[in-house]
Amino acid sequence: MPDRQRSTTKQPSAHLTGPADCARCDAVCCRLTVVVQPEDNIPSHLTTQLPNGPVVMAKDEDGWCVAMDGARMNCGIYESRPEVCRRFVMGGPYCEAVRMDYARDRAREIELVLQ
Dihedral, 45, 50, 56, 57 alpha carbons, nearest 10: -50
Rounded Cα distance, 2 and 104, in Å: 31
Rounded alpha-carbon distances, angstroms, from residue 59 to 45, 81, 84, 91, 95: 11, 15, 16, 23, 19
Q: What is the pLDDT of residues 9-52, one digit of tens each?
A: 333 444 455 566 656 667 778 888 999 999 999 999 999 999 98
pLDDT at 8: 33
Q: What is the pTM of this model?
A: 0.68
Torsion-angle region of 24 (φ positive above 0: left; ψ -120 to 50: alpha; else: beta): alpha
> What is the rounded average pLDDT of the residues 63-82?
89
